[in-house]
Chain A
Amino acid sequence: MIRIDDPRLSAYALGELPAGATAEVERLLEGDPEAVAVVEDVRAMAGTLAAAFSTEPAVALTESQRAAVVEEAAQPSEARAPMLAIVGTRRREARPWYAWTLAAAAAAAGILVIGGPLQRRVSREETARAQREAEHNARVAEVVGFASADYDVEIAQASDIARLLGTDGSKAQVHEFRSFKLPQGASGPGRIVLESSAPVIAGLRSAPLLNPSSGTFFNNGRDGDLRGRAENVFVGHLGSLDDVTNGLRDRLSVSLASGPVTAGAPVVVRIPRAHTADNDRMSAEAYVAAAESPYLRPTDAPLSTFSIDVDTASYANVRRMITAGIRPPPDAVRLEELVNYFPYAYPAPTGTDPFAVHLETANCPWNLEHRLVRVALKGREIARKERPASNLVFLVDVSGSMDAPAKLPLVKASLRMLVDELNERDTVTIVVYAGASGVALQTTTCEKKDVIREAIDRLTPGGSTNGAAGIELAYQLAAERFVAGGVNRVILATDGDFNVGVTSRDDLLKLIEEKAKSKIFLTTLGYGMGNLKDATLEMLADKGNGTYGYVDTTREAHKLLVEEAGGTLVTIAKDVKVQVEFNPKTVGAYRLVGYDNRLLAAKDFADDTKDAGEIGAGHTVTAFYEVVPAGKPLPKPEVDPLRYQPVVPPAGPAGATSDELLTVKLRWKAPEGDVSTLRELPYTDTGASYEKASTDFRFAASVASFAMVLRGSPHRGTGTYEAVLELATSALGDDPGGWRKEFVEIVGRAKTQFGEPAPLAAKAPPAPPAPPSPPASPPTAPADGPVAPPR
Chain B
Amino acid sequence: MSDDAGPEFAAWVKDALERFEGPLTTYVRHLVGDAERARDLVQEAFLRLCRQDRAAIEPALAPWLYTVCRNLSMDERRKGRHMPRTNVEVLEERPTRAGTVEDAAEGRDLAARALVEVARLPEGLQEVLRLKFAHGLSYVEIAQVTGLSPGHVGVKIHQGMTALRKRMGVLAPVALSVSATVPAVTEGGVS
What is the interface of chain A, defined by CB distance below 8 A to chain B? 1-11, 14, 16, 28, 34, 37-38, 41-42, 44-46, 48-62, 65-66, 68-70, 72-77, 80-83, 86-87, 91, 93-94, 96-98, 101-102, 104-106, 108-111, 122-123, 147-150, 281-287, 289, 326-331, 505, 712, 764-768, 771-779, 781, 785-790
Contact = CB atoms under 8 A, between A and B. Distances in A.
Contacts of B89: 326-327
24 contacts: A6-B158, A7-B151, A8-B158, A10-B157, A41-B170, A49-B164, A61-B25, A73-B50, A86-B68, A97-B147, A109-B4, A110-B1, A149-B75, A149-B79, A282-B34, A283-B37, A286-B80, A289-B84, A776-B116, A776-B118, A777-B88, A785-B167, A787-B169, A790-B106
A65 B39 contact: yes
Given A60-B25, A73-B14, A9 B111 contact: no
B135 to A, nearest CB: 8
Contacts of A330: 84, 86-87
Contacts of A80: 50-51
A96 B71 contact: yes
Given A52-B112, A70-B13, 15 more contacts: A1-B188, A1-B190, A4-B162, A7-B157, A45-B161, A53-B130, A59-B35, A75-B50, A86-B48, A91-B71, A94-B147, A289-B84, A330-B87, A785-B167, A789-B109
Contacts of B74: 93
Contacts of A326: 89
A46 B93 CA distance: 25
Contact of B1 (A69, A74, A76, A109): A109
Interface of B: 1-2, 4-7, 9-10, 12-14, 17, 21-23, 25-26, 29-30, 34-44, 46-48, 50-53, 55-57, 60, 63-64, 67-68, 71-76, 78-81, 83-94, 96-97, 100-102, 106-120, 126, 129-130, 132-134, 138-139, 143-144, 147, 151, 154-155, 157-159, 161-162, 164-172, 174, 176, 181-182, 186, 188-191
B23 A58 contact: yes
B130 to A, nearest CB: 7
Contact of B119 (A8, A10, A73, A776): A776
Nearest to A775: B115
A50 B60 CA distance: 22
A59 B92 contact: yes
B43 A61 contact: yes
Contacts of A61: 17, 21, 25, 39, 42-43
Contact of A10 (B36, B64, B147, B154): B154
B191 A55 contact: no
Nearest to A62: B39
A381 B80 CA distance: 41
Given A46-B133, A76-B6, A54 B100 contact: yes
A427 B40 CA distance: 48
**Which of B68, B86, B164, B189 is most buried by chain A, counting CB atoms within 10 A of its CB?**
B86
A51 B107 contact: yes
A57 B93 contact: yes
Contact of A59 (B90, B97, B130, B174): B90
A394 B85 CA distance: 36
Contacts of B78: 150
A765 B116 contact: yes
Contacts of B67: 86, 96-98
A83 B51 contact: yes
Contacts of B134: 49-50, 53-54, 56
The B contact surface, by secondary structure, is helix
A10 B55 CA distance: 34
B161 A60 contact: no
Given A109-B2, A329-B87, A147 B48 contact: yes
A93 B138 CA distance: 21
Contact of B75 (A97, A110, A148): A148
A778 B191 contact: no
Contact of B13 (A8, A69, A108, A774): A69
Contacts, number: 335
B86 A778 contact: yes
A186 to B, nearest CB: 16
B109 A765 contact: yes
B190 A2 contact: yes
Contacts of B12: 73
Nearest to A25: B191
Nearest to B173: A788
Contacts of A34: 174, 181
Contact of A150 (B79, B101, B169, B191): B79
A69 B56 contact: no
A423 to B, nearest CB: 43
A94 B152 CA distance: 14
A66 B126 CA distance: 28
Contact of A93 (B41, B119, B147, B157): B147
A327 B90 CA distance: 12
A375 B105 CA distance: 47
B119 A74 contact: no
Contacts of A787: 113, 169
Contact of A44 (B94, B96, B170): B170
B51 A789 contact: no
B191 to A, nearest CB: 5
A94 B52 CA distance: 21
B79 to A, nearest CB: 6
Nearest to A76: B5
Contact of A56 (B56, B84, B115, B162): B115
B120 A56 contact: no
A754 B37 CA distance: 23
Contacts of B132: 14
A74 B6 CA distance: 6
A37 B111 contact: no
Given A10-B161, A97-B144, A329-B83, A122 B1 contact: yes
Contacts of A51: 100-102, 107, 111
A11 B154 contact: yes
A2 B84 contact: no
B86 A777 contact: yes
